Structure 1
Amino acid sequence: MKIRFASTLIITALLITAYSCKGEKQNETEASSAEEVKEAPVEAIMYNVDVASSSINWTGSKLTGKHSGTLSLASGTFEAKEGTVMSGSFIIDMTSINVTDLEGDDKTDLEGHLKGEKEGTEDHFFNVAKFPKGVFEVTGISEKEGKTYIEGNLTLKDIKKNISFPATTSVEGDVMTLNTEIFTINRTDWSVNYASKSVFGDLGDKFINDEIEIKISIKANKS
Protein backbone atom coordinates (compact mmCIF):
# COMPACT_ATOMS: atom_id res chain seq x y z
CA MET A 1 0.00 0.00 0.00
CA LYS A 2 2.79 2.42 0.90
CA ILE A 3 4.62 1.63 -2.33
CA ARG A 4 1.48 2.18 -4.37
CA PHE A 5 0.78 5.48 -2.58
CA ALA A 6 4.36 6.67 -3.11
CA SER A 7 4.18 5.77 -6.80
CA THR A 8 0.96 7.76 -7.15
CA LEU A 9 2.60 10.80 -5.55
CA ILE A 10 5.61 10.54 -7.87
CA ILE A 11 3.42 10.29 -10.99
CA THR A 12 1.32 13.24 -9.84
CA ALA A 13 4.44 15.33 -9.19
CA LEU A 14 5.80 14.49 -12.64
CA LEU A 15 2.54 15.50 -14.31
CA ILE A 16 2.47 18.81 -12.42
CA THR A 17 6.11 19.48 -13.33
CA ALA A 18 5.50 18.67 -17.00
CA TYR A 19 2.48 20.97 -17.11
CA SER A 20 4.39 23.79 -15.40
CA CYS A 21 7.33 23.45 -17.81
CA LYS A 22 5.05 23.44 -20.81
CA GLY A 23 3.17 26.52 -19.65
CA GLU A 24 0.23 28.17 -21.31
CA LYS A 25 0.78 29.64 -24.75
CA GLN A 26 -0.48 33.20 -24.78
CA ASN A 27 -2.32 34.31 -27.93
CA GLU A 28 -0.65 31.61 -29.98
CA THR A 29 -0.34 32.66 -33.61
CA GLU A 30 -0.73 30.43 -36.64
CA ALA A 31 1.74 31.42 -39.34
CA SER A 32 0.33 31.25 -42.85
CA SER A 33 1.30 32.34 -46.34
CA ALA A 34 2.18 36.00 -46.81
CA GLU A 35 -0.68 38.28 -47.84
CA GLU A 36 -0.99 41.53 -49.74
CA VAL A 37 0.03 44.61 -47.78
CA LYS A 38 -2.87 46.85 -46.79
CA GLU A 39 -3.06 50.39 -48.19
CA ALA A 40 -4.41 53.25 -46.11
CA PRO A 41 -7.18 55.59 -47.30
CA VAL A 42 -6.02 59.00 -48.46
CA GLU A 43 -7.46 60.70 -45.35
CA ALA A 44 -5.33 58.60 -42.98
CA ILE A 45 -2.68 60.41 -40.94
CA MET A 46 0.94 59.25 -41.11
CA TYR A 47 3.05 58.66 -38.00
CA ASN A 48 6.78 58.00 -37.85
CA VAL A 49 7.99 55.45 -35.32
CA ASP A 50 10.04 56.92 -32.47
CA VAL A 51 12.66 54.16 -32.33
CA ALA A 52 14.14 55.42 -29.06
CA SER A 53 10.77 54.98 -27.32
CA SER A 54 9.76 51.70 -28.99
CA SER A 55 10.82 48.13 -28.31
CA ILE A 56 10.07 44.44 -28.67
CA ASN A 57 10.23 42.24 -25.59
CA TRP A 58 10.81 38.50 -26.03
CA THR A 59 10.94 35.41 -23.84
CA GLY A 60 12.28 31.99 -24.80
CA SER A 61 12.11 28.90 -22.61
CA LYS A 62 13.42 25.40 -22.13
CA LEU A 63 12.87 22.58 -19.64
CA THR A 64 15.19 24.09 -17.04
CA GLY A 65 14.15 27.74 -17.27
CA LYS A 66 13.76 30.71 -19.56
CA HIS A 67 15.53 33.80 -20.86
CA SER A 68 14.15 37.19 -21.78
CA GLY A 69 15.33 40.27 -23.61
CA THR A 70 14.60 43.05 -26.06
CA LEU A 71 14.95 44.04 -29.69
CA SER A 72 15.10 47.57 -31.08
CA LEU A 73 13.34 48.99 -34.12
CA ALA A 74 15.36 50.63 -36.88
CA SER A 75 12.50 52.61 -38.44
CA GLY A 76 8.81 52.47 -39.28
CA THR A 77 5.69 54.33 -40.29
CA PHE A 78 1.98 53.88 -39.62
CA GLU A 79 -1.12 55.37 -41.18
CA ALA A 80 -4.08 55.75 -38.83
CA LYS A 81 -7.64 56.99 -39.17
CA GLU A 82 -9.56 58.07 -36.08
CA GLY A 83 -7.00 56.35 -33.88
CA THR A 84 -7.15 53.01 -35.72
CA VAL A 85 -4.14 51.70 -37.62
CA MET A 86 -4.99 51.30 -41.29
CA SER A 87 -1.58 50.35 -42.66
CA GLY A 88 2.08 50.52 -41.80
CA SER A 89 5.34 48.67 -41.33
CA PHE A 90 8.44 48.64 -39.17
CA ILE A 91 11.96 47.30 -39.47
CA ILE A 92 13.49 45.24 -36.64
CA ASP A 93 17.19 45.67 -35.94
CA MET A 94 18.22 42.04 -35.40
CA THR A 95 21.76 43.10 -34.45
CA SER A 96 20.22 44.70 -31.33
CA ILE A 97 19.33 41.36 -29.68
CA ASN A 98 19.69 42.02 -25.96
CA VAL A 99 19.42 39.53 -23.09
CA THR A 100 18.08 41.19 -19.95
CA ASP A 101 18.00 38.37 -17.40
CA LEU A 102 21.74 37.61 -17.45
CA GLU A 103 24.91 39.55 -16.74
CA GLY A 104 28.61 39.35 -17.57
CA ASP A 105 29.97 36.47 -19.63
CA ASP A 106 26.65 34.56 -19.52
CA LYS A 107 24.86 37.52 -21.11
CA THR A 108 27.58 38.00 -23.73
CA ASP A 109 27.68 34.29 -24.60
CA LEU A 110 23.91 33.96 -25.06
CA GLU A 111 23.64 37.15 -27.12
CA GLY A 112 26.50 35.94 -29.31
CA HIS A 113 24.81 32.56 -29.78
CA LEU A 114 21.47 34.12 -30.71
CA LYS A 115 23.24 36.41 -33.20
CA GLY A 116 25.37 33.57 -34.62
CA GLU A 117 28.65 35.36 -34.00
CA LYS A 118 30.74 32.28 -33.23
CA GLU A 119 31.97 30.13 -36.10
CA GLY A 120 29.75 27.10 -36.51
CA THR A 121 26.75 28.71 -34.79
CA GLU A 122 25.74 31.12 -37.54
CA ASP A 123 22.50 29.34 -38.41
CA HIS A 124 21.58 28.12 -34.94
CA PHE A 125 19.28 31.07 -34.40
CA PHE A 126 19.14 34.37 -36.30
CA ASN A 127 22.46 34.77 -38.18
CA VAL A 128 22.36 38.55 -37.95
CA ALA A 129 25.45 38.99 -40.15
CA LYS A 130 23.46 37.53 -43.06
CA PHE A 131 19.99 38.69 -41.94
CA PRO A 132 20.49 41.97 -40.03
CA LYS A 133 16.88 43.11 -40.35
CA GLY A 134 13.41 41.75 -39.78
CA VAL A 135 10.25 43.38 -41.16
CA PHE A 136 6.60 43.56 -40.17
CA GLU A 137 3.98 44.86 -42.64
CA VAL A 138 0.31 45.36 -41.83
CA THR A 139 -2.06 43.39 -44.08
CA GLY A 140 -5.33 43.87 -42.24
CA ILE A 141 -7.28 44.65 -39.07
CA SER A 142 -9.94 42.37 -37.61
CA GLU A 143 -12.16 42.10 -34.54
CA LYS A 144 -12.43 38.87 -32.56
CA GLU A 145 -13.93 38.22 -29.13
CA GLY A 146 -14.03 41.93 -28.35
CA LYS A 147 -10.38 42.51 -29.26
CA THR A 148 -8.69 44.23 -32.19
CA TYR A 149 -6.20 42.05 -34.05
CA ILE A 150 -3.46 43.35 -36.30
CA GLU A 151 -2.67 41.03 -39.17
CA GLY A 152 0.61 41.28 -40.98
CA ASN A 153 3.57 39.70 -42.71
CA LEU A 154 6.53 39.02 -40.41
CA THR A 155 9.82 38.47 -42.23
CA LEU A 156 12.75 36.85 -40.41
CA LYS A 157 15.76 35.23 -42.13
CA ASP A 158 14.17 36.16 -45.48
CA ILE A 159 11.11 34.00 -44.69
CA LYS A 160 7.79 35.86 -44.82
CA LYS A 161 4.76 34.54 -42.91
CA ASN A 162 1.43 36.12 -42.03
CA ILE A 163 0.40 36.26 -38.38
CA SER A 164 -2.11 38.15 -36.23
CA PHE A 165 -2.05 39.34 -32.64
CA PRO A 166 -4.22 41.45 -30.32
CA ALA A 167 -3.21 45.08 -29.95
CA THR A 168 -4.55 48.42 -28.78
CA THR A 169 -3.81 51.81 -30.30
CA SER A 170 -4.43 55.30 -29.00
CA VAL A 171 -3.76 58.82 -30.18
CA GLU A 172 -3.08 61.78 -27.91
CA GLY A 173 -2.25 65.00 -29.70
CA ASP A 174 0.43 64.22 -32.25
CA VAL A 175 1.50 60.94 -30.66
CA MET A 176 0.19 57.48 -31.45
CA THR A 177 0.94 54.47 -29.25
CA LEU A 178 0.53 50.82 -30.20
CA ASN A 179 0.80 48.09 -27.59
CA THR A 180 0.26 44.41 -28.19
CA GLU A 181 -0.73 41.78 -25.70
CA ILE A 182 1.84 39.04 -25.21
CA PHE A 183 1.56 36.67 -28.16
CA THR A 184 3.42 33.54 -29.19
CA ILE A 185 5.14 32.64 -32.44
CA ASN A 186 6.65 29.30 -33.41
CA ARG A 187 10.28 30.02 -34.29
CA THR A 188 10.58 27.01 -36.62
CA ASP A 189 8.14 28.72 -39.02
CA TRP A 190 11.09 31.03 -39.78
CA SER A 191 13.70 28.24 -39.86
CA VAL A 192 15.04 28.96 -36.37
CA ASN A 193 15.46 25.26 -35.65
CA TYR A 194 18.30 24.92 -33.14
CA ALA A 195 17.50 22.38 -30.39
CA SER A 196 13.88 22.08 -31.50
CA LYS A 197 12.42 18.71 -30.56
CA SER A 198 9.84 19.08 -33.34
CA VAL A 199 12.74 19.16 -35.85
CA PHE A 200 15.29 16.91 -34.14
CA GLY A 201 14.03 13.75 -32.50
CA ASP A 202 17.02 12.73 -30.39
CA LEU A 203 17.45 15.67 -28.00
CA GLY A 204 16.15 14.05 -24.83
CA ASP A 205 15.64 16.85 -22.30
CA LYS A 206 18.16 19.13 -24.06
CA PHE A 207 15.56 20.89 -26.17
CA ILE A 208 14.51 24.54 -26.41
CA ASN A 209 10.81 25.23 -26.78
CA ASP A 210 9.67 26.27 -30.24
CA GLU A 211 7.45 29.02 -28.87
CA ILE A 212 8.74 32.55 -28.32
CA GLU A 213 6.63 35.06 -26.43
CA ILE A 214 6.56 38.55 -27.94
CA LYS A 215 5.27 41.92 -26.76
CA ILE A 216 5.56 45.00 -28.98
CA SER A 217 5.39 48.57 -27.67
CA ILE A 218 5.54 51.38 -30.23
CA LYS A 219 5.39 55.15 -29.97
CA ALA A 220 5.03 57.14 -33.19
CA ASN A 221 4.90 60.86 -33.91
CA LYS A 222 2.68 62.61 -36.44
CA SER A 223 4.73 63.44 -39.54
Structure 2
Amino acid sequence: MKALLPVLLAGALLATPAVAQKTTAKKASTSAATTTATYKLEPQLSTLGWVGKKVTGQHNGTVDFKEGEVLVKGNQVTGGTFVVDMTTLKDEDIKDAGGNGKLVGHLKSEDFFSVEKNPTATFKITSLAPIKGAAADADNMTVTGDLTIKGITNSITFPAKVGVKNGLAAASGTATVDRTKYDIKFRSKSFFENLGDKVIDNDFMMTFNVIAKQPTSVASNK
Protein backbone atom coordinates (compact mmCIF):
# COMPACT_ATOMS: atom_id res chain seq x y z
CA MET A 1 0.00 0.00 0.00
CA LYS A 2 2.80 2.41 0.94
CA ALA A 3 4.40 1.76 -2.44
CA LEU A 4 1.22 2.85 -4.19
CA LEU A 5 1.08 6.29 -2.53
CA PRO A 6 3.97 7.88 -4.49
CA VAL A 7 2.47 6.57 -7.75
CA LEU A 8 -0.95 7.99 -6.96
CA LEU A 9 0.56 11.31 -5.86
CA ALA A 10 2.62 11.58 -9.05
CA GLY A 11 -0.46 10.85 -11.13
CA ALA A 12 -2.38 13.59 -9.37
CA LEU A 13 0.40 16.13 -9.91
CA LEU A 14 0.72 15.25 -13.61
CA ALA A 15 -3.02 15.60 -14.10
CA THR A 16 -3.13 19.11 -12.63
CA PRO A 17 -1.65 20.95 -15.66
CA ALA A 18 -4.22 19.34 -17.97
CA VAL A 19 -7.06 20.61 -15.78
CA ALA A 20 -5.44 24.04 -15.67
CA GLN A 21 -5.11 24.10 -19.46
CA LYS A 22 -8.79 23.25 -19.90
CA THR A 23 -9.78 25.95 -17.44
CA THR A 24 -7.54 28.51 -19.16
CA ALA A 25 -8.91 27.60 -22.59
CA LYS A 26 -12.47 27.95 -21.30
CA LYS A 27 -11.69 31.36 -19.81
CA ALA A 28 -10.04 32.48 -23.07
CA SER A 29 -13.09 31.40 -25.05
CA THR A 30 -15.43 33.20 -22.66
CA SER A 31 -13.24 36.31 -22.80
CA ALA A 32 -13.29 36.31 -26.61
CA ALA A 33 -17.08 36.11 -26.59
CA THR A 34 -17.47 39.06 -24.20
CA THR A 35 -14.69 41.32 -25.51
CA THR A 36 -15.53 43.93 -28.12
CA ALA A 37 -13.22 43.87 -31.13
CA THR A 38 -12.78 46.73 -33.60
CA TYR A 39 -12.91 45.70 -37.26
CA LYS A 40 -11.52 48.22 -39.75
CA LEU A 41 -13.60 49.28 -42.74
CA GLU A 42 -12.24 48.19 -46.13
CA PRO A 43 -13.09 51.24 -48.34
CA GLN A 44 -11.94 49.49 -51.52
CA LEU A 45 -14.39 46.63 -50.89
CA SER A 46 -17.29 48.77 -49.66
CA THR A 47 -19.79 50.67 -51.83
CA LEU A 48 -22.31 53.46 -51.31
CA GLY A 49 -24.84 54.36 -53.99
CA TRP A 50 -27.44 57.11 -54.09
CA VAL A 51 -30.69 57.75 -55.96
CA GLY A 52 -32.49 61.08 -56.10
CA LYS A 53 -35.91 61.43 -57.76
CA LYS A 54 -37.81 64.33 -59.30
CA VAL A 55 -41.08 64.76 -61.17
CA THR A 56 -39.42 64.28 -64.56
CA GLY A 57 -37.14 61.37 -63.65
CA GLN A 58 -34.24 60.52 -61.39
CA HIS A 59 -30.45 60.52 -61.07
CA ASN A 60 -28.18 57.94 -59.49
CA GLY A 61 -24.52 57.70 -58.62
CA THR A 62 -21.94 56.81 -56.01
CA VAL A 63 -19.82 58.28 -53.26
CA ASP A 64 -16.82 56.63 -51.59
CA PHE A 65 -16.26 55.67 -47.99
CA LYS A 66 -13.17 57.32 -46.51
CA GLU A 67 -12.76 55.26 -43.35
CA GLY A 68 -14.68 53.55 -40.58
CA GLU A 69 -14.87 50.81 -38.01
CA VAL A 70 -17.31 48.11 -36.93
CA LEU A 71 -17.59 46.94 -33.32
CA VAL A 72 -17.98 43.18 -32.92
CA LYS A 73 -18.65 41.09 -29.81
CA GLY A 74 -18.50 37.35 -30.37
CA ASN A 75 -20.17 36.91 -33.76
CA GLN A 76 -22.47 39.93 -33.44
CA VAL A 77 -22.07 43.50 -34.71
CA THR A 78 -22.73 45.89 -31.82
CA GLY A 79 -21.86 49.26 -33.31
CA GLY A 80 -19.86 51.18 -35.86
CA THR A 81 -18.85 54.54 -37.29
CA PHE A 82 -18.42 55.38 -40.97
CA VAL A 83 -16.97 58.43 -42.72
CA VAL A 84 -17.97 59.26 -46.31
CA ASP A 85 -15.76 61.36 -48.60
CA MET A 86 -18.27 63.75 -50.18
CA THR A 87 -15.66 65.08 -52.61
CA THR A 88 -15.90 61.74 -54.47
CA LEU A 89 -19.59 62.19 -55.29
CA LYS A 90 -20.33 60.98 -58.85
CA ASP A 91 -23.33 60.68 -61.17
CA GLU A 92 -23.68 57.52 -63.27
CA ASP A 93 -26.77 58.08 -65.42
CA ILE A 94 -25.76 61.15 -67.46
CA LYS A 95 -23.34 60.05 -70.18
CA ASP A 96 -22.65 63.50 -71.65
CA ALA A 97 -19.54 64.82 -69.91
CA GLY A 98 -20.77 68.41 -69.86
CA GLY A 99 -24.17 67.57 -68.44
CA ASN A 100 -22.66 65.16 -65.93
CA GLY A 101 -20.19 67.76 -64.68
CA LYS A 102 -22.94 70.36 -64.38
CA LEU A 103 -25.10 68.08 -62.22
CA VAL A 104 -22.24 66.95 -59.98
CA GLY A 105 -21.10 70.54 -59.55
CA HIS A 106 -24.62 71.55 -58.54
CA LEU A 107 -24.90 68.66 -56.06
CA LYS A 108 -21.63 69.77 -54.46
CA SER A 109 -22.78 73.40 -54.25
CA GLU A 110 -24.52 75.28 -51.47
CA ASP A 111 -27.91 74.28 -52.93
CA PHE A 112 -27.25 70.69 -51.92
CA PHE A 113 -24.32 69.18 -49.98
CA SER A 114 -22.00 72.19 -49.68
CA VAL A 115 -18.99 69.92 -50.15
CA GLU A 116 -16.33 72.62 -49.98
CA LYS A 117 -17.40 73.49 -46.43
CA ASN A 118 -18.42 69.96 -45.49
CA PRO A 119 -16.10 67.48 -47.25
CA THR A 120 -17.25 64.51 -45.18
CA ALA A 121 -20.48 62.99 -43.90
CA THR A 122 -20.67 60.48 -41.04
CA PHE A 123 -22.94 57.76 -39.74
CA LYS A 124 -22.67 56.32 -36.22
CA ILE A 125 -24.70 53.27 -35.18
CA THR A 126 -26.56 53.82 -31.91
CA SER A 127 -28.54 50.55 -31.77
CA LEU A 128 -29.22 47.28 -33.59
CA ALA A 129 -32.35 45.18 -33.08
CA PRO A 130 -32.87 41.70 -34.58
CA ILE A 131 -35.76 41.30 -37.02
CA LYS A 132 -37.74 38.30 -35.80
CA GLY A 133 -38.32 35.54 -38.32
CA ALA A 134 -35.96 37.04 -40.92
CA ALA A 135 -35.04 34.66 -43.75
CA ALA A 136 -31.38 33.72 -44.22
CA ASP A 137 -31.02 35.92 -47.30
CA ALA A 138 -33.11 38.85 -46.04
CA ASP A 139 -32.55 41.89 -43.84
CA ASN A 140 -32.06 40.62 -40.29
CA MET A 141 -31.42 43.79 -38.29
CA THR A 142 -33.08 47.13 -37.71
CA VAL A 143 -30.28 49.67 -37.57
CA THR A 144 -30.60 53.07 -35.91
CA GLY A 145 -27.89 55.68 -35.98
CA ASP A 146 -26.88 59.32 -36.19
CA LEU A 147 -26.36 60.62 -39.73
CA THR A 148 -24.44 63.87 -40.07
CA ILE A 149 -24.61 65.84 -43.34
CA LYS A 150 -23.52 69.49 -43.68
CA GLY A 151 -22.73 69.45 -39.97
CA ILE A 152 -26.35 68.63 -39.10
CA THR A 153 -27.12 65.41 -37.23
CA ASN A 154 -30.38 63.46 -37.27
CA SER A 155 -31.31 59.93 -36.24
CA ILE A 156 -32.38 57.54 -39.00
CA THR A 157 -33.59 53.92 -38.90
CA PHE A 158 -33.52 51.30 -41.64
CA PRO A 159 -33.40 47.51 -42.13
CA ALA A 160 -30.15 45.80 -43.13
CA LYS A 161 -28.53 42.42 -43.52
CA VAL A 162 -25.73 42.22 -40.95
CA GLY A 163 -23.32 39.39 -40.18
CA VAL A 164 -19.87 38.32 -39.01
CA LYS A 165 -17.95 35.39 -40.48
CA ASN A 166 -14.33 34.32 -40.94
CA GLY A 167 -12.85 37.57 -39.66
CA LEU A 168 -15.12 39.79 -41.76
CA ALA A 169 -18.08 41.92 -40.71
CA ALA A 170 -20.56 42.82 -43.45
CA ALA A 171 -23.69 44.94 -43.74
CA SER A 172 -25.90 45.76 -46.71
CA GLY A 173 -29.19 47.53 -47.19
CA THR A 174 -30.97 50.71 -48.27
CA ALA A 175 -31.68 53.78 -46.14
CA THR A 176 -34.12 56.57 -46.97
CA VAL A 177 -33.01 60.08 -46.03
CA ASP A 178 -35.10 63.26 -45.88
CA ARG A 179 -32.74 65.87 -47.32
CA THR A 180 -34.70 68.80 -45.92
CA LYS A 181 -33.66 67.80 -42.40
CA TYR A 182 -30.10 68.66 -43.45
CA ASP A 183 -30.96 72.11 -44.81
CA ILE A 184 -31.13 70.86 -48.41
CA LYS A 185 -34.31 72.56 -49.56
CA PHE A 186 -33.64 73.28 -53.25
CA ARG A 187 -36.89 72.78 -55.23
CA SER A 188 -38.65 71.11 -52.31
CA LYS A 189 -42.43 71.50 -52.46
CA SER A 190 -42.39 71.61 -48.66
CA PHE A 191 -40.74 75.04 -48.80
CA PHE A 192 -41.48 76.46 -52.26
CA GLU A 193 -44.73 76.91 -54.21
CA ASN A 194 -45.53 76.80 -57.92
CA LEU A 195 -42.57 74.60 -58.85
CA GLY A 196 -44.61 72.54 -61.29
CA ASP A 197 -42.51 69.78 -62.85
CA LYS A 198 -39.36 71.24 -61.28
CA VAL A 199 -40.08 69.57 -57.92
CA ILE A 200 -37.35 67.34 -56.48
CA ASP A 201 -38.37 64.69 -53.92
CA ASN A 202 -37.44 65.38 -50.33
CA ASP A 203 -36.31 61.78 -49.84
CA PHE A 204 -33.27 60.21 -51.45
CA MET A 205 -32.03 56.65 -51.08
CA MET A 206 -28.62 55.36 -50.08
CA THR A 207 -27.78 51.74 -50.90
CA PHE A 208 -24.72 50.41 -49.11
CA ASN A 209 -22.54 47.33 -48.91
CA VAL A 210 -20.00 47.57 -46.09
CA ILE A 211 -17.10 45.21 -45.46
CA ALA A 212 -14.86 45.48 -42.37
CA LYS A 213 -11.91 43.26 -41.54
CA GLN A 214 -10.71 41.89 -38.22
CA PRO A 215 -7.25 43.16 -37.25
CA THR A 216 -4.52 40.68 -38.31
CA SER A 217 -2.99 40.47 -34.84
CA VAL A 218 -6.33 39.42 -33.33
CA ALA A 219 -7.18 36.98 -36.10
CA SER A 220 -3.79 35.25 -35.80
CA ASN A 221 -4.39 34.53 -32.11
CA LYS A 222 -7.49 32.49 -32.82
Q: Same fold (TM over 0.5)?
A: yes
Deviation at 1:93, TM superposition (A): 0.6
Deviation at 1:144, TM superposition (A): 4.6
Counterpart Cα distance in 2 of 1:57 and 1:149? 20
1:121-174: CA deviations, max 9, x gaps? xx2100100010101011111235644111100000010001111111222312
| Residue 35 of structure 2 is aligned to residue 43 of structure 1 | yes
Counterpart Cα distance in 2 of 1:68 and 1:114? 12
| Residue 55 of structure 2 is aligned to residue 63 of structure 1 | yes
Structure-2 residue corresponding to 1:156: 149
Counterpart Cα distance in 1 of 2:185 and 2:192? 8
The residue type equivalent to 1:126 in the other structure is F
State how many pairs are aligned.
176
Q: Is the 8 A contact 1:83 1:169 kept in 2?
A: no
Structure-2 residue corresponding to 1:73: 65
Counterpart Cα distance in 1 of 2:194 and 2:75? 50
Q: Is the 8 A contact 2:34 2:74 kept in 1?
A: no
Counterpart Cα distance in 2 of 1:207 and 1:88? 35
Counterpart Cα distance in 2 of 1:54 and 1:159? 24
| Residue 184 of structure 2 is aligned to residue 192 of structure 1 | yes
Q: Give 1 or 2: higher helix fraction.
A: 2
Q: Which structure has more RCO (C-alpha within 8 Å, separation ≥ 6)?
A: 1
Larger Rg: 1 or 2?
2
1:46-85: CA deviations, max 9, x gaps? 1100011112111001111100011111100011123322
| 2:195 counterpart SS class | coil
1:96-133: CA deviations, max 9, x gaps? 111011121111111111011xxxxxx21001000101
1:14-66: CA deviations, max 9, x gaps? xxxxxxxxxxxxxxxxxxxxxxxxxxx96122110001111211100111110
TM-score by length of 1: 0.75
Counterpart Cα distance in 1 of 2:118 and 2:132? 36
Counterpart Cα distance in 2 of 1:66 and 1:186? 16
The 5 Å alignment of 1:173-212 reads 173-180=166-173, 182-212=174-204
Counterpart Cα distance in 1 of 2:129 and 2:192? 36
Q: Is the 8 A contact 2:41 2:69 kept in 1?
A: yes
Q: Is the 8 A contact 1:94 1:133 kept in 2?
A: yes
Counterpart Cα distance in 2 of 1:82 and 1:71? 31
Counterpart Cα distance in 1 of 2:38 and 2:214? 6
Gap regions ≥5 residues in structure 1:
1-40, 117-122
Counterpart Cα distance in 1 of 2:59 and 2:132? 31
- CA-based RMSD of the aligned residues comes to 1.6
TM-score by length of 2: 0.75
The residue type equivalent to 1:155 in the other structure is T
Question: Identity of counterpart residues, as a percentage?
Answer: 31
1:161-212: CA deviations, max 9, x gaps? 01111111222312221111x2311110111111111111231221111110
Structure-1 residue corresponding to 2:98: 105
Q: Is the 8 A contact 2:70 2:169 kept in 1?
A: no
Structure-2 residue corresponding to 1:26: none
Counterpart Cα distance in 2 of 1:42 and 1:157? 37
| 2:40 counterpart SS class | strand
